[in-house]
């Protein structure tokens, strides 16, 4: 045996090295076909909910100017301080991968003249968002959200309608044991007094606070209530509560929200420590949790000042978002779902000419909306029949050399183990008739 070229091992090593390097970025997983089918099921439920309640779909760029999130999401929010992916373009623009949808939607609302539309303006969105954080269960650096936003009304009925939409969506997806946690964080008139008392309270407990909360006291005291660390949890119970400082307008608004929830029979509890992690919220904030897993599946609230903060006229608004990955995880865990659409017919071709004919038959079946599977890569009849049997297909259409020359096919009934020769021109008509007699839907 002759010696292999010197470069052989070098190239082999390169191939091994390349194989180990080419991985998806951390926290940005591939979405494989089976999971994509489940995501499409979720999107279908989102779309049906949006269509019923009158929401139009909006798509915004994945990249936006970084200052949009500095002004919108808020400079003191953890998203802006720690979690944004930013980049500088060759032209000098500072852009960020969107960490959430709401500021993008408000920017599009203002830029495209939607402020002149009849109110309220209802919009929903679906797509990936990006946050630089340590990947964990149900949370990634690239993850997907669905959002519902209602712009142009301060009526508390829209707070509850937003909550109801998300509750209905989760129910439609057969997710059980749901509980709505709700709170109010007031407005610019009453919140400053609460913030001052909250700051004074946590200052007196400063030695027990984590480092992050000590910093939050200097920038946004409300964020101390959002801390998940055990050292800070016990301190929250004695902290001043916003409900004791509400102005008459905010008190009336929150009372009406609770009355609407009661009238709809929606399960809720008031969580006085719920503030959400974004700076733009006012009045109502909410999360919907799964009680037996303590997982927040969605959340949102009212943001009456955001449009004005981003350069528009004062426009009350409310909205919320749900993380798709967490929904996928829960559905996979708790439900048995047949995601793949089962074919009704299997098309078999044996030889080159039969393959040419079969492509034409496949097109006829597509136009007739008869879902058909094939395994043309297998040459033997036995292997293709085995595949048809595995898919539990009732009818198999076989095209061999003789059938291809005669413009006929063999139609095999897999259940009855019978077969007959049928004209190629009449195969669609014959299959429709048989499927109808068997009460089998075509698709």
User: Could you give the CA distance from residue 48 to residue 350 in angstroms, rounded to a whole number?
Assistant: 44
- Percent of the chain having pLDDT more than 90? 69
Flag whether pLDDT at 111 surpasses 60.
yes
Among the residue ranges 107-111, 146-150, 200-204, 221-225, the one predicted with the least confidence is: 221-225
Enumerate the H helices of 138-270 as residue ranges: 156-172, 191-204, 211-219, 230-236, 248-264
**What is the spatial distance between Cα 431 and Cα 434, in angstroms, rounded to a whole number?**
5
Residue 1 has pLDDT above 50, yes or no: no
Q: What is the CATH number of domain 345-437?
A: 3.40.50.800
Q: Look at the block and give the residue holding tokens 């944004």.
A: 84
Do residues 189 and 242 touch, judged by C-beta distance below 8 A? Answer: no
Distance, in Å, from the CA atom of 442 to the CA atom of 382, rounded to the nearest integer, reads 26
Residue closest to 172 by CA, chosen among 50, 46, 295: 46
Angle between helices 156-172 and 33-53 (to 10 degrees): 140
Contacts of 326 (CB under 8 A, 6+ apart): 138, 139, 295, 297
Chain centre distance of CA 105: 16
Which CATH code is given to the segment(s) 33-190+246-334?
A: 3.30.930.10
The helix/strand/coil state of 345 is strand
Name every residue whose Cβ is closer than 8 Å to that of residue 100 and which is 6 or more positions away in sequence: 69, 73, 79, 129, 145, 278, 321
Integer Cα distance of 261 and 255 in angstroms: 10
Taking residues 384-391, what's their average pLDDT?
92
User: Are the beta carbons of 397 and 362 closer than 8 angstroms?
Assistant: no
**What is the pLDDT, as a whole number, of residue 107?**
97
- pTM comes to 0.86
Task: Tokens for 131, please give them.
Answer: 């946050």
The average confidence (pLDDT) of the chain is 89
* Per-residue model confidence (pLDDT) at position 277: 72
pLDDT per residue over 408-418, tens digit each? 999 999 999 99
**pLDDT tens digits, one per residue of 163-182:** 999 999 999 999 999 999 99
Q: How many residues does the chain have?
A: 443
397, 403, 408, 413: CA torsion to nearest 10: -30
Q: How is residue 278 written in tokens?
A: 């974004």
How far apart are the C-alpha atoms of 438 and 30, rounded to whole Å? 40
Residue pLDDT, tens place only, 299-312: 999 999 999 999 99
The predicted structure's pLDDT at residue 229: 80
Going 203 to 205 to 207 to 211, the CA torsion angle's sign is negative
User: Using N-to-C axis directions, what is the helix angle for 324-334 and 33-53, rounded to 10°?
Assistant: 110
Give per-residue pLDDT as tens, 243-290: 999 999 999 999 999 999 999 999 999 999 998 877 889 999 999 999
Supply the pLDDT for residue 21.
Answer: 66
| Domain spans of the chain, in order of start | 33-190+246-334, 345-437
pLDDT digits (tens, 9 = 90+) for 326-376: 999 999 888 777 667 789 999 999 999 999 999 999 999 999 999 999 988
């Amino acid at each position: 045996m002759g010696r292999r070229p010197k470069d052989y091992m070098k190239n082999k090593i390169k191939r091994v090295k390349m194989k180990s390097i080419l991985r998806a970025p951390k926290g940005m997983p591939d979405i494989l076909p089976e999971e994509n089918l489940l995501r499409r099921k979720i999107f279908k439920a989102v779309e049906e909910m949006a269509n019923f309640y009158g929401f139009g779909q909006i798509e915004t760029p994945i990249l936006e100017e970084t200052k949009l999130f500095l002004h919108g999401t808020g400079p003191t929010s953890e998203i802006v301080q720690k979690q944004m992916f930013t980049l500088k373009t060759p032209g000098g623009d500072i852009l960020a991968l969107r960490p959430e949808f709401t500021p993008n939607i408000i920017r599009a609302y203002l830029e495209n003249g939607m402020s002149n539309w009849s109110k309220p303006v209802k919009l929903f969105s679906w797509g990936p968002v990006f946050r630089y954080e340590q990947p964990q269960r149900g949370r990634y650096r690239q993850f997907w959200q669905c959002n519902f936003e209602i712009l142009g009304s301060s009526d508390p009925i829209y707070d509850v309608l937003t909550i109801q939409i998300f509750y209905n969506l989760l129910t439609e997806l057969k997710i059980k044991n749901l509980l709505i946690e709700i709170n109010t964080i007031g407005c610019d008139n009453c919140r400053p007094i609460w913030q001052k008392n909250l700051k004074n309270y946590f200052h007196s407990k400063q030695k027990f606070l984590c480092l992050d909360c000590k910093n939050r006291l200097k920038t946004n005291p409300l964020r101390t209530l959002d801390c998940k660390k055990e050292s800070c949890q016990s301190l929250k119970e004695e902290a001043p509560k916003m409900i004791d400082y509400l102005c008459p307008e905010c008190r009336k608004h929150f009372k009406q929200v609770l009355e609407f929830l009661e009238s709809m029979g929606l399960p809720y509890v008031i969580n006085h420590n719920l503030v959400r992690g974004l700076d733009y919220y006012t009045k109502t904030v909410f999360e919907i949790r799964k009680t037996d897993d303590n997982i927040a599946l969605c959340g949102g609230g009212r943001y009456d000042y955001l449009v004005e903060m981003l350069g528009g006229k004062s426009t009350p608004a409310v909205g919320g978002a749900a993380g798709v990955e967490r929904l996928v995880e829960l559905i996979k865990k708790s439900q048995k779902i047949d995601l793949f659409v089962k074919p009704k017919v299997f098309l078999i071709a044996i030889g080159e000419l039969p393959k040419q004919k079969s492509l034409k038959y496949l097109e006829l079946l597509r136009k007739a909306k008869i879902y058909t599977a094939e395994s043309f890569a297998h040459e033997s009849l036995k292997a293709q029949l085995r595949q048809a049997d595995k898919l539990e297909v009732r009818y198999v259409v076989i095209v061999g050399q003789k059938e291809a020359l005669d413009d006929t096919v063999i139609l095999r009934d897999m259940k009855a183990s019978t077969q007959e020769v049928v004209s190629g021109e009449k195969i669609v008509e014959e299959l429709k008739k048989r499927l109808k007699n068997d009460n089998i839907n075509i698709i």
